[in-house]
Structures are given as structure tokens and as C-alpha cells.
């Protein structure tokens, strides 16, 4: 088995991702997978025959390897508890299978280490068999005697516990299996002790080591199961509590919970553009196709209004989207990012014509900037233009666009301003009809204010990433000495 595990390097360095390889009872630690693939030497090697595997009962993804000599501890953490279980099983069985006569010669000094290992096992077994005993005292008749002739402390422990717990049938089977393993290994240990008097160290060692490993693997397995059962019970309880809370919330807000507006219902918006942005040489690059799709969706804003006063605005914006798509298609260069397209035209000094992508994107971004500022003016509570659509528009126009228009176009805008729809018209156009009707139908006092607050929230969610995109494009033009 091999894979990435986080290794604890202390409070200064914290957790560091390493690449571990388990092979022939040895766990090797590499700085990274690449190091391993390039056959670089391992930074650390653990002989499982010299380690104790300790499962963390608090954090379901952590476990430790503790050297039986010197007690050095290596704390490890996986991404998920399933990964930890796989590692523990593999490590446990590697330890259990580690021993055969061909490796006997490589084992540590028999007397000290096998004593250590034996004491570790009896500690582990005692700790867990008291747990096993609590299940057994319920699962098996209390007066049933162990078959074993031995009267070791462990046998008494198995029968003497007085912590009964209720277990279901499958768990009883599982417990009984563990008891059987424990009894078998106790018999093996007792046989080994008998052998001790005959001083046949080779057989003794084999008996003790084999039993210890089998016991350890069985106990670790049991611990894992118990820890998982407890975790599962907690997860189930949490899920039930969360579900209940959500159902209560839905019941309270059902009539406006599915609240939807133009701003919340676009399949592609500028959040997707921001999420698709990468950084190259410290510069942000905006994904061209996602940007054009978000602009295409933005055009639906104009479709929500009746009348034709805004048609010229819509046509100008749509025309620029088309120009950029055409340049991308005709260039055959498979541009991914807007900045690449503009850089390409500017580097060839082909960026000034009316049908260039540079010009189309420049004017498109100016339209987006006016839109962004207009929406912010309309919904921000501290602006002098809140809910005043005309004032909100002319303020945005004068600040961001007028300077790029000749007197005639400016005149046209001033005339058109007289036809800016009212705020109520804006609300009715932006809030999906079904939600409007549901809100109205409640008959509650202030239902429109509730809808208005939710719409304002949707507007802010929509223009936040839009503003980021606008600023990044303005920055790009500024770096090319083009007034954005």
C-alpha cells in the first residue's frame, strides 16, 4: 500500500504532506510522490516489528506509530477516516504477517523486545477486554466458565466486569469472535510460558510474537469498529438535528423561500468569471468564453422592460459581444483569456479599428461599469440616489461614460433619461412574477419591503463579482495606456 499521509512536524511546522510506502513490514516515508517516483531515498523508515500502532479515538483521521525502543512517536493524519482504516488494517496485518522464520533473525533482541511487546499487548488486551467483557457479560450467560484451564488475571477480567451494555445480535457475534480470538491467544501465550521453562527460546519467541501480533490486530480492529460506531451515531444525530432545523426554517419562510430575481437566476454570471480567473506572472487572466456568456445573460436585463428606449443600449452591448467572438473565431489561436486577445492585437498594433476585440471589449466594459454603478446607486442605503432610478443612472453615466461620448450621444442620453422606468417598475421587472404574486397574496403588512430587501441582497451578490471583473479590465487598459 502507498499514498499521501500528513506527518506532524511539531507546533512550528505543523502537518506536512508526505508520501508513504508500506512494503515487507517496512513503512518508508518520502518527501513527496515525485521523490518516490524518482527513486530518491526515503527520509524515514519504520520497521513495523519495532512499532506500536496507536489509533486516535478523538480524531477519526489520526493515528500514531510508536517505537517500542525509545518510544519515539510519529503522528500521522489522513484526509478521511476510511483512508485511516485502510492504513491501520494494512499496517496491522503487515505486523501480524511480518513474522516467519526467514525474518526471525532480523527481529530485535528477543528478551527485551518481546517482553515489551508482550506487556504492550497485555495492556492493550486488558484495556479492550474490559470493554469486551462488558459486552460478554450481557451476551454470554454470566456463570459460564472459560474453557481455558488457566486462571490468569485476564480470565478473571473477562468474567468479572460489571459494566453490562446492551448489544444487538450482529455485535454479539462480533464480540464473541473477538473473545474467541482472545481465548485462543491466551492459550497460545500460556503454552509459550510453559515452553519458557524448557528454555527453547526460538519456539518461545515465535509463539509470543505471533500471538501478540494476532491479538494486536484483533484488538485494533475492534477499537476501530467501536470508534466508527460511535462516530456514526454522532453523525446520524447531527444530520437529524440539521434536517429538523432546515424544515423549521423552510416552514417559517415558505412563502418567500424560493425567492427569485433576474440577479439570482442567470445560468452564467460574473461570479463564474471570477471563479475561472487564473494568475499568470502575477497578472489575473479572465476566461473569455465564460465572460462572454455572462455578458450574454446580462442582456436579459433589458428584455425584462417593455418599450424600446433601451434597445440601442442592448444592441450596442450585444454588438460588442459578437465582435469579440468573431475575433476569437477568425484568429484560430484558441484564446482562453481576454487579456491574451488584447495583448495579441496590441502587439501587432491592430487594436484601434472599430471591429477589433480591443475596442469592443473596451466599450463593453464601459457599459458593464455603468450598469454596476447604477445598480449600486439604486440599492445602497446610504446613497442620495437610492430608489431614484433616474438620478442613479445619470450619476453613473456622468461619472463613467459621458467623457467618452461626443456632445450628440450625450444629448441622446439626456433625452432618453426622461424615460427611465420608476423604481417600482424596476422592482416588478426584476422580481420573478411568481414570487411577486406569492408575496402580494400574503396580504402581510410590509410584504413589499421584505421582497425589496431580498432583491437588494440579490443585486449586491450579482454586482460584487461584476465589479471585480470591470476593475481588472480597467486595469488592463490602463497598463496599455488606454483610458478605460
Ligand X SMILES: CCCCCCCCCCCCC/C=C/[C@@H](O)[C@H](CO[C@@H]1O[C@H](CO)[C@@H](O)[C@H](O)[C@H]1O)NC(=O)CCCCCCCCCCCCCCCCC
24 torsion bin: left (phi>0), alpha (psi -120 to 50), beta (else) = left
Q: Is 312 in the site for ligand X (CB under 6 A)?
A: yes
Question: For ligand X, which residue of 87, 291, 337, 413 counts as binding (CB under 6 A)?
Answer: 413
Which residue, 159 or 310, has its beta carbon nearer to ligand X? 310
Q: Toward ligand X, which CB reaches closer, 244 or 415? A: 415
For ligand X, the binding residues in 336-375 under the rule CB under 6 A are: 354, 359-360, 363, 366-367, 370-371, 374
Closest residue to bound ligand X by CB: 416
Q: How many residues of this chain bind ligand X (CB under 6 A)?
A: 30
CA distance 53 to 46: 11
The CB-of-320 to ligand X minimum distance in angstroms stands at: 5
Q: Considering only CA atoms, which of 188, 193, 248 is closest in space to residue 215?
A: 188
In the complex with ligand X, the residue whose CB is nearer, 421 or 465, is: 421
Binders of ligand X among residues 415 to 434 (CB under 6 A) are 416-417, 419-421, 426
The region that residue 443 occupies, defined by phi over 0 for left and psi between -120 and 50 for alpha, beta otherwise, is: left
Q: Rule CB under 6 A: say whether 284 interacts with ligand X.
A: no
Tell me the C-alpha distance between 14 and 7, whole Å: 8
Contact in structure between 431 and 261 (CB atoms under 8 Å): yes
Establish if 170 lies at the interface with ligand X (CB under 6 A): no
| Residue with Cβ nearer ligand X (222 or 366) | 366
Q: Which is nearer to ligand X, 77 or 366 (CB)?
A: 366
Per DSSP bridges, beta strands 62-67 and 73-77 are antiparallel
Please, what is the minimum distance in Å from the beta carbon of residue 405 to ligand X?
Answer: 6
CA distances from 1 to 27, 28, 130, 173, 176 (A): 9, 11, 33, 30, 30
Those residues whose C-beta lies under 8 Å from the C-beta of residue 429, and which sit 6 or more positions away, are 262, 304, 305, 421
Q: Does 60 bind ligand X (CB under 6 A)?
A: no
Distance of CA 346 to the CA centre of its chain: 41
**What is d(CA 296, CA 147) in angstroms, rounded to the nearest whole number?**
81
Q: What's the min distance (Å) between Cβ of 78 and ligand X?
A: 52
- 202 or 312, CB closer to ligand X? 312
Nearest to ligand X of 92, 421 (CB atom) = 421
Rounded least distance, CB 472 to ligand X, Å: 19
Would you say 66 and 76 are in contact if contact means Cβ atoms under 8 Å apart? no
Measured from the CB of residue 317, what is the shortest distance to ligand X in angstroms?
A: 6
Radius of gyration of the chain (CA): 36
Is residue 393 near ligand X by the rule CB under 6 A? yes
Q: Of the candidates 97, 278, 409, 441, which one interacts with ligand X according to CB under 6 A?
A: 409
Among 319, 326, 424, 444, binds ligand X (CB under 6 A): 319
Is residue 338 a contact partner of residue 278, using CB atoms and an 8 Å limit?
no
> What nine digits make up the cell of 63?
493515528
Shortest reach from residue 453's CB to ligand X, in Å: 18
Report how far residue 456's alpha carbon sits from residue 395's, in angstroms, rounded to the nearest whole number: 19
User: Dihedral angle at the C-alpha atoms of 296, 299, 303, 308, nearest 10 degrees?
Assistant: -130
Site for ligand X (CB under 6 A): which residue of 313, 391, 402, 482? 313
Applying CB under 6 A, among 297, 310, 391, 402 the residue interacting with ligand X is 310
> Considering only residues 78, 182, 261, 389, which one is a binding residue for ligand X as defined by CB under 6 A?
389
Instruction: Choose one: 1-9, 18-26, 230-238, 412-420; the region binding ligand X (CB under 6 A).
Output: 412-420
45 three-state secondary structure: strand
Taking contact as CB under 6 A, which single stretch among the options 70-78, 287-295, 317-325, 470-478 is the one that binds ligand X?
Answer: 317-325
Rounded CA separation 241/393 (Å): 48
Of 60-68, 115-123, 226-234, 410-418, which part binds ligand X (CB under 6 A)? 410-418
Residue with cell 462488558: 134
Residues that bind ligand X (CB under 6 A): 309-310, 312-313, 316-317, 319-320, 323, 354, 359-360, 363, 366-367, 370-371, 374, 389, 393, 401, 409, 412-413, 416-417, 419-421, 426
Amino acid at each position: 500500500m502507498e499514498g499521501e499521509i500528513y506527518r506532524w512536524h511539531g507546533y512550528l511546522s505543523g502537518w506536512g504532506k508526505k508520501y508513504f510506502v508500506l512494503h515487507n513490514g517496512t513503512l518508508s516515508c518520502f518527501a513527496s510522490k515525485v521523490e518516490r517516483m524518482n527513486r530518491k531515498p526515503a527520509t524515514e523508515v519504520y520497521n513495523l516489528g519495532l512499532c506500536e500502532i496507536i489509533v486516535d479515538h478523538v480524531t477519526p483521521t489520526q493515528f500514531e506509530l510508536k517505537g517500542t525502543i525509545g518510544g519515539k512517536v510519529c503522528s500521522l493524519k489522513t484526509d478521511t477516516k476510511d483512508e485511516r482504516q485502510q492504513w491501520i488494517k494494512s499496517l496491522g496485518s503487515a505486523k501480524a504477517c511480518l513474522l516467519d522464520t526467514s525474518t526471525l533473525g532480523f527481529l530485535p533482541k528477543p528478551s527485551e523486545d518481546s517482553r515489551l511487546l508482550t506487556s504492550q499487548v497485555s495492556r492493550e488486551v486488558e484495556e479492550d477486554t474490559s470493554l469486551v467483557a462488558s459486552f460478554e457479560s450481557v451476551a454470554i450467560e454470566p456463570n459460564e466458565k472459560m474453557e481455558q484451564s488457566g486462571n490468569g488475571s485476564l480470565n478473571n477480567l473477562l468474567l468479572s466486569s460489571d459494566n453490562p451494555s446492551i448489544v444487538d445480535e450482529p455485535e454479539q457475534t462480533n464480540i464473541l469472535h473477538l473473545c474467541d480470538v482472545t481465548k485462543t491467544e491466551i492459550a497460545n501465550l500460556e503454552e509459550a510460558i510453559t515452553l519458557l521453562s524448557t528454555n527453547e527460546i526460538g519456539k518461545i519467541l515465535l509463539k509470543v510474537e505471533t500471538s501478540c501480533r494476532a491479538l494486536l490486530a484483533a484488538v485494533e480492529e475492534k477499537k476501530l469498529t467501536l470508534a466508527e460506531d460511535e462516530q456514526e451515531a454522532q453523525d446520524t444525530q447531527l444530520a437529524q438535528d440539521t434536517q429538523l432545523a432546515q424544515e423549521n426554517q423552510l416552514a417559517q419562510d415558505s412563502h418567500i423561500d424560493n425567492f427569485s430575481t433576474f440577479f439570482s437566476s442567470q445560468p452564467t454570471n460574473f461570479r463564474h468569471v471570477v471563479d475561472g480567473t487564473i494568475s499568470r506572472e502575477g497578472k489575473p487572466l479572465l476566461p473569455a468564453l465564460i465572460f462572454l456568456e455572462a455578458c450574454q445573460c446580462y442582456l436579459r436585463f433589458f428584455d425584462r422592460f417593455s418599450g424600446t428606449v433601451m434597445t440601442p443600449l442592448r444592441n450596442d452591448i450585444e454588438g460588442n459581444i459578437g465582435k469579440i467572438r468573431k475575433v476569437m473565431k477568425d484568429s484560430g489561436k484558441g484564446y482562453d483569456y481576454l487579456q491574451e486577445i488584447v495583448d495579441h492585437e496590441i502587439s501587432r498594433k491592430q487594436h484601434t479599428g472599430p471591429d477589433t476585440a480591443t475596442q469592443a471589449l473596451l466599450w463593453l466594459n464601459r457599459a458593464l461599469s455603468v450598469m454596476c454603478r447604477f445598480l449600486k446607486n439604486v440599492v445602497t442605503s446610504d446613497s442620495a440616489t437610492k430608489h431614484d432610478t433616474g438620478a442613479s443612472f445619470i450619476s453613473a453615466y456622468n461619472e463613467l461614460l459621458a467623457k467618452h461620448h461626443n456632445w450628440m450621444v450625450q444629448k441622446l442620453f439626456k433625452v432618453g433619461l426622461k424615460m427611465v422606468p420608476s423604481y417600482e417598475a424596476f422592482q416588478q421587472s426584476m422580481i420573478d412574477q411568481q414570487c411577486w404574486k406569492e408575496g402580494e397574496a400574503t396580504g402581510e403588512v410590509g410584504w413589499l419591503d421584505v421582497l425589496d430587501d431580498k432583491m437588494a441582497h440579490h443585486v449586491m451578490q450579482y454586482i460584487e463579482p461584476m465589479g471585480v471583473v470591470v476593475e481588472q479590465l480597467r486595469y488592463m487598459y490602463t497598463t496599455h495606456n488606454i483610458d478605460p
